[in-house]
Structure 1
Amino acid sequence: MLPRIVVMGRPNVGKSTLFNRLAGRRIAIVDDTPGVTRDRKETVARVAGRDVLLVDTAGLEEAPPETIPGRMRASSEAALQGADLVLFVVDARTGLTPADRAFAQWLRRRGKPVLLLANKAEGRLGAANSLEAYELGLGAPLPVSGEHGDGFGELHDEIRAALPPEPEEEEEGDPNRPLRLAIVGRPNAGKSTLLNALLGEERMITGPEPGLTRDSVAVQWTDETGKPVRLVDTAGLRRRARITQALEQMSTAATIAALKECEVAVLVIDGVQGMDEQDLRIARLAEREGRGIVIAFNKWDAVEDRNVARRRLEDVLTASLAQLKGVLVVPLSAATGRGVDQLMPTVREAYETWNRRIPTGALNRWFEGALERHAPPLVNGKRLKLRYATMPKARPPTLAIFGTRAEQMPEDYRRYLVNSFREAFDMPGVPIRVNLRGTENPYADAEQ
């Protein structure tokens, strides 16, 4: 088990900047707007010469439990449960606030090991400005600058001394590589509620307010089959014309990055509203990135006429998403948990299809049959001579078709081959790539 280091403090003291600096790469969104981080983020990082689980949390605020700040604080408090070390961050530039004092007192009662960090302490006056933090009773404050990296050598030394001793024999991790799964969709479709339902805990802040999730949040999880999953909840994607604020632009960029890194994307659709053009854009984006796709038809318990809703969804998929013919759909209710148990088996099924390779012999028997059923068309008065096909890679399934002037193949014949391949080898709902590779005719010059 990796030691768990949790970064805590009130809003806008630079926790996410410190988190990114310790992680060695930009993971959490950083902005001057207070409260950008709403859900805790986790990553495995090399800190103080050891692999640790580093956790960034939302800012600690005094607020009623039902409000967004109140739910953010509850999430941060939950992160503290399994912490081996807490990095409590204050702002050396602005000095201590009543909130700093209140939360320092709260931390002392929890009995966790704490390192007090006076952030934004760059420059000659940085160390002097940090001295005020002594009065918090959490030991000597360590002046650092998350933005510029000042004081991080000493910080690594202090972390090394504060962590529990490293075991003589490290526990061996699961040899299976985790399935990378991203939950995507429009704002307020129920993505975070679905993640919580899968995990069986209130891991993400949820509520009726759209846009609660601002960053992509990764969670390591083991499903009911005992296999590891790296589950990523993302911010809702709106139409580009509606994205005006810099913070939302960063959220959108983080969502697209998560989509590019995943293996299977679960597209969450509001079952009451149905699939709209923005849902289709997200599905097409996942298809262009070559990801496996499963549609979670959420809020199924609130749909009045389910037969009509299902037919409408199938009509939209057939008319507007033909390149993902047969995409798997799971009706569920993330809020009540009904149908959620069917999601991961469907995801595993989509992953196996997305990862499947077809032997060359079987592939060419299909290819010969497809050419016999529908001969290649004429292009500029000459018929295409397609010779054979190979499958150089899966993830997603990719065909390479060789032949004279193969690169001139019309789009409708390419679609015919894709649909025939999908049907022959039972590959519903996954992107299928076709690479066309023409071969030169050695007698072309002699014919002229």
Structure 2
Amino acid sequence: MERNTIVAIVGRPNVGKSTLFNRLSQKSKAIVIDVPGATRDRNYADCTWHGRRYTLIDTGGFEPASTETILIQMREQTHLAIEEADIIIFLMDGRDGLTPADIEIVQLLREGGKKVFYAVNKVDGPRHEGLLPEFYRLGVSRIHDISAQHGLGIDELMEDLSACLPEEAASAGEEGEEEDRIRIALIGKPNVGKSSLLNKILGYERTIANPTPGTTRDAIDTPFEFDGHRYLLIDTAGIRKKSRISLSLEKYSVIQALKTLDRCDIALLLIDAEEGITDQDTKIAGLAFEKGRAVIIVVNKWDLVAKDNSTVGRYVRDIKDRLKFMDFSPIIFVSALSGQRVTRIFALVQEVYRQYTTRISTGELNRKVMEIVSKNPPPQYQQKAHPFNYVTQVSIKPPTFAFFVGKPAEIHFSYERYLINSLREALGFTTVPIRLVFRRKHRNIGS
């Protein structure tokens, strides 16, 4: 299957690239806020326009003359997007007018030899149409005046651009292709090495790796294949403590990271080996657990820790003690910098995903439950038949079981915990969360 045509949106900071990205992708995926440089990494979305498929890339702002380290890195990311793209949308700001930076970017685009569509944003109606003529000094034959915020001129821009896209509409199998991928989110507090781990896995500088906490602000999606298996890696913004979130931009980043947990199957929770597990790590783990996500705990920077024969055991005990609610989650010690044990993560991912998507037949499930309850009936039912009529699995991701009960309200939470732990052991759900729901029913189990 041929890959999608790649369309990259480039331009100076704060010209509306993320707003246009969200307009075209029809989702609020990129951060949109009136702060120059809000988008730093490349952000991807698969889109269609009248049945024609393409992949859209949002990029960080491009400042040709900047010497600040983070802006230089943003410029490098934009260069990568231009190299990767088949088509470029170069976005300018009508209210700023044509700037020297715009002219320099146009020169760069011409040297790249890619198909470029030029658009002037923030033209919100007839009163702004007078802003357009000076942009024709660039010597291009067609400039689209648009308002990404209000949707003005977008149809005309996309009608021209879609003529460069393949005509074949996606088949049903192609549309469901991403569903075949295991979705893995990299989560954790800032500066634990999430982007470095992603870059090590992919083998190139996919995202900015910078020692400044909070460098990654958007959730970055990257399709990836390893050892014959298909994955989608999602690098998230570091989740900061609420007391440290002063800028509204960082609040958007936290929201984005939390939303990412809704899109993944498995979360890799990165912990800094030098710091050990912290209160913030525990809170982030709790967020993933509440959402029912399978979690692999990745202790990063392991090469920087002085070790003896008890070091690993001590770390494992500390993590399991702090994360009692998810002590079933596997733990792996890696170095994203050196690559130590990084590829072993994927063997864990495969096993965790197998359990996360396992279905148990109703017959087998009821037999196991009968054995479990017979060994330890609920206290209030010690002298009576057990309270469960029958049990069935109602969903996966996470495995969820419905217990049909005479009196659901009388099942104590401590007994529910006993059932969960017993089912985990009996059915092989040793590395994933499972959920129980109790419903009223009047048919006896096994009848």
**What's the TM-score, normalizing by structure 1?**
0.92
1:291-332 deviation digits (Å, cap 9, x = unpaired): 111111111111112655433432234333333232111211
Q: Shift in Å at residue 5 of structure 1?
A: 0.8
Name the residue aligned to 2:24: 22
Report the Cα distance in structure 2 between the residues aligned to 1:386 and 1:215, rounded to whole angstroms.
Answer: 46
Deviation (angstroms), 1:54 = 0.7
Alignment partner, residue 423 of structure 2: 421
Q: 432-441 or 208-217: which moved more?
A: 432-441
Alpha-carbon distance between aligned partners in 2 of 1:237 and 1:295, rounded to the nearest angstrom = 16
Following the alignment from structure 2 to structure 1, what is the Cα–Cα distance between the partners of residues 170 and 375? 62
1:157-172 alignment to 2 at 5 Å?
157-161=159-163, 163=164, 166=167
1:406, distance to aligned residue in structure 2 (A): 3.7
Please state how far the C-alpha of 1:44 moved relative to its aligned partner. 0.8
How has the CA–CA distance of structure 1 residues 71 and 160 changed in structure 2, closer, same or farther, with 3 Å as cutoff?
same
**C-alpha deviations, 1:88-123, integer Å up to 9, x for none?**
111111111111111111111111111111111112
1:425/1:44 CA distance change after superposition, 3 Å: same
Q: Is the 8 A contact 1:131 1:141 kept in 2?
A: no
CA distance in 2 between counterparts of 1:434 and 1:104 reads 58
Quote the residue 2:279 is aligned against. 277
Which of 53, 58, 61 is equivalent to 2:60? Answer: 58
Q: How does 1:392-431 map to 2 (within 5 A)?
A: 392-431=394-433
Does 1:135 find its partner at 2:104?
Answer: no
CA distance change for structure 1 residues 112 and 106 in 2, over 3 Å: closer, same or farther? Answer: same
Amino acid at match of 1:186: K
1:18-46 CA-to-partner distances (Å, cap 9, x unmatched) read 11111122221111110011000111111
Aligned counterpart, 1:236: 238
Structure 2 residue 249 is matched with structure 1 residue 218: no
Corresponding position: 1:356 with 2:326: no
The one-letter code matched in structure 2 to 1:267 is: L
Report how far residue 169 of structure 1 moved. Answer: 10
2:180 to 169, 177, 180: 177
Structure 1 vs Structure 2: percent identity of aligned residues?
Answer: 38
- Which has the larger displacement, 325-334 or 30-39? 325-334
Equivalent of 1:107 in 106, 109, 132: 109
Q: Distance in 2 between matches of 1:318 and 1:121?
A: 56
Q: Is the 8 A contact 2:12 2:92 kept in 1?
A: yes
Distance 1:78 1:393, change over 3 A: same
1:247 maps to 249
Which runs of at least 4 in structure 1 moved beyond 6 Å after TM superposition? 167-172, 379-383
Deviation at 1:153, TM superposition (A): 2.0
Q: Does structure 1 retain, via aligned residues, the 8 Å contact 2:373–2:386?
A: no
Q: Secondary structure of 2:132's partner?
A: helix
Amino acid at match of 2:126: R
| Matched letter for residue 315 of structure 2 | L
What CA distance in whole angstroms lies between the structure 2 residues aligned with 1:168 and 1:295?
Answer: 41
CA deviation digits over 1:201-257, x for unaligned, max 9? 1000011110000111111222222x3222111001122233232111111111111
Superposed CA offset, 1:245-281 (max 9, x none): 2111111111111101211111111111111111111
* Partner SS state of residue 367, structure 1: helix
Q: Give, in whole Å, the separation in 1 of the partners of 2:360 and 2:172.
A: 37
Query: Aligned partner of 1:391: which letter?
Result: Q
2:337 alignment partner in structure 1: 335
Deviates more, 1:202-211 or 1:245-254: 245-254
Quick check: 1:187–1:238 contact (8 Å CA) kept in 2?
Answer: yes
5 Å matches for 1:374-393? Answer: 374-378=376-380, 385-393=387-395
Letter in 2 for 1:389: V
State the distance in 1 between where 2:406 and 2:168 align.
Answer: 63
Higher mean displacement: 402-411 or 250-259: 402-411
Change in CA separation of 1:239 and 1:312 when aligned onto 2, cut-off 3 Å? farther
In structure 1, distance between residues paired with 2:91 and 2:311:
50
Number of aligned pairs? 440
1:195 aligned to 2:195? no
Query: How has the CA–CA distance of structure 1 residues 153 and 404 changed in structure 2, closer, same or farther, with 3 Å as cutoff?
Result: closer
Q: Identify the match of residue 208 of structure 2 among 205, 209, 219.
A: 205
Q: In the alignment, which residue of structure 1 is the partner of 2:8?
A: 6
Q: Would the alpha carbon gap of residues 119 and 430 (structure 1) be closer, same or farther in structure 2, given more than 3 Å must change?
A: same
Equivalent residue, structure 2, for 1:89: 91
Aligned counterpart, 1:446: none
State the alpha-carbon separation in 2 of the partners of residues 43 and 178 from structure 1. 15
Q: CA offsets, 1:34-82, max 9 Å, x none?
A: 0011000111111364111111111111367881111111111111113
1:202 partner amino acid = E
Cα distance 1:350–1:65, how it changes in 2: closer, same or farther (>3 A)? farther
Whether 2:322 is the aligned partner of 1:320: answer yes
Residues 1:355 and 1:311: Cα distance change in structure 2 (over 3 Å): same
Q: Which amino acid aligns with 1:201?
A: Y
Contact 1:114-1:138 at 8 Å conserved across structures: no
Please say if residues 294 and 329 of structure 2, whose CA atoms lie closer than 8 Å, have aligned partners that are also in contact.
no
Paired with 1:441 and 1:104, the residues of 2 have a C-alpha distance of 73
Aligned-partner Cα distance in 1 for 2:169–2:410:
63
CA distance in 2, matches of 1:283, 1:97: 46
- SS of residue in 2 equivalent to 1:125: helix
Structure 1, residues 381-428: CA drift from partner, whole Å, max 9, x if none? 988633432222222111222333243111211111111111122212
Distance 2:12 2:258 in 1: 29
CA distance in structure 1 between the partners assigned to 2:141 and 2:50 by the alignment: 20
Structure 2: how far apart are the matches of 1:18 and 1:334? 34
Q: Which amino acid aligns with 1:211?
A: G
How many angstroms apart in 1 are the aligned matches of 2:306 and 2:269?
A: 22
d(CA) in 2 for partners of 1:154 and 1:64? 34
Contact 1:184 1:268 in 2 (8 A): yes
**Using the alignment, how far apart are the partners of 1:39 and 1:79 within structure 2?**
10
* Change in 2 beyond 3 A, CA 1:172/1:382: closer
Across the aligned residues of Structure 1 and Structure 2, the Cα RMSD in angstroms comes to: 2.5
Q: CA–CA distance in 2 between the matches of 1:359 and 1:168?
A: 39
